[in-house]
């Protein structure tokens, strides 16, 4: 499941293949042919990730915006010999440069942004701090989460305009490791706990950028996750069975948690009204 670590790792693999090279051919089902052909000859200036978004930037200021969501896939081929030729197979996306070809399928968001549009596009300009950035603006993450006070914390952690990069896996694992009930309203979560969640999620994401398989639970054997995908199985801490709930608008996003280890914070008692003079 592509989350922030997957997209940053993909950008890291594509950048050495694409940056500095000129486009030999380009085709995308969602982009008109007469527009797609104008990319041929363009030099690729950068390949970066922002949260779960992959951005390929060209010398004329345009940007290819890719969001894989749940099922999208991007692959690339590199020469294995001097006789290498790129395979020509039907695909939703095909970008070829000298010595390599990038293809993609089942990509729900695939569009070419005009020069300057990247900064104006609501779904990009409105993103919260990227948890995989070298320096994360933690205070801004807390501030944006606080603005989602009526939502449950399990829903809020997935709001990309609050903080970018978290998906179902990191949401579930972060909440488990910080021992917080995913149904807790953000309004009931302290700033200290919100900061702990931000730091925990950022640390887990950054650790897995450098891995092959995603690992949260470091162990010599057994599952790689504490709770994600383990509905009905015993918690590694207390042996209570892990529960999966749906959160957010129907059909809802899956959240896995331990009902015993993850508690709601106690509400502060209401202060009595001062006596009237």
CATH code (residue 87): 3.20.190.10
Has residue 256 got a pLDDT over 70?
yes
Give the pLDDT score at 80: 60
Has residue 215 got a pLDDT over 60?
yes
Q: How far is CA 20 from the centre of its chain?
A: 26
Residue 32: inside a domain, yes or no? yes
- What percentage of the chain carries pLDDT values higher than 70? 91
Sign of the alpha-carbon dihedral angle for 243, 248, 249, 252: negative
Whole-angstrom distance, CA of residue 115 vs CA of residue 63: 7
Inter-residue contact 86 to 101 (CB < 8 Å)? yes
Has residue 144 got a pLDDT over 90?
yes
Inter-residue contact 188 to 115 (CB < 8 Å)? no
Residues 150 and 226 in one domain: yes
Residues 181 and 102 in one domain: no
Residues 84 and 183 in one domain: no
**Residues annotated as part of the active site:** 2-3, 52, 253
Residues 79 and 192 in one domain: no
Residues 217 and 166 in one domain: yes
Has residue 277 got a pLDDT over 70?
no
Q: pLDDT tier at 220 (50, 70, 90 boundaries)?
A: confident
Residues 186 and 209 in one domain: yes
Q: Flag the least confident range among 15-24, 83-92, 254-263.
A: 83-92
- Number of compact structural domains in the chain: 2
| CATH number of domain containing 146 | 1.10.8.50
Give the pLDDT score at 31: 95
Q: What range does the domain containing 231 cover?
A: 138-257
pTM: 0.88
Has residue 83 got a pLDDT over 70?
no
Whole-angstrom distance, CA of residue 199 vs CA of residue 136: 9
- Write down the H helix ranges in the chain: 4-18, 33-36, 122-125, 138-146, 153-156, 168-177, 191-209
Give the pLDDT score at 253: 93
Residues 8 and 113 in one domain: yes
Give the pLDDT score at 180: 98
Residues 110 and 146 in one domain: no
Residue 209: inside a domain, yes or no? yes
């Amino acid at each position: 499941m592509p989350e922030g670590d997957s997209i940053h790792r993909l950008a890291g693999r594509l950048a050495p293949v694409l940056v500095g090279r000129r486009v030999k051919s380009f085709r995308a089902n969602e982009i008109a042919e007469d527009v797609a052909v104008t990319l041929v000859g363009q030099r690729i200036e950068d390949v970066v990730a922002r949260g779960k978004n992959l951005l390929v930037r060209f010398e004329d200021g345009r940007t290819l915006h890719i969001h894989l969501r749940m099922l999208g896939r991007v692959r690339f081929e590199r020469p294995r010999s001097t006789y290498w030729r790129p395979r020509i197979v039907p695909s939703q996306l095909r970008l070829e440069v000298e010595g390599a070809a990038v293809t993609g399928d089942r990509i729900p968001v695939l569009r070419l942004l005009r020069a300057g549009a990247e900064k104006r596009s609501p779904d990009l300009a409105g993103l919260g701090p990227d948890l995989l950035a070298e320096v994360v603006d933690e205070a801004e993450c807390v501030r944006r989460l606080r603005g989602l006070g009526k939502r449950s914390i399990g829903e809020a952690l997935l709001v990309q305009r609050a903080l970018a990069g978290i998906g179902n896996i990191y949401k579930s694992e972060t909440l488990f490791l910080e021992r917080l009930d995913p149904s807790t309203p953000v309004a009931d979560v302290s700033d200290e706990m919100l900061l702990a969640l931000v730091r925990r999620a950022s640390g887990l994401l950054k650790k897995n950028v450098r891995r092959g398989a995603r690992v949260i639970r470091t162990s010599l054997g057994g599952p790689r996750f504490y709770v994600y995908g383990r509905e009905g199985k015993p918690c590694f801490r207390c042996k209570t069975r892990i529960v999966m709930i749906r959160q957010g608008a129907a059909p809802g996003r899956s959240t896995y948690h331990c009902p015993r280890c993850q508690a709601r914070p106690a509400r502060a008692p209401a202060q009595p009204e001062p006596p009237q003079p």
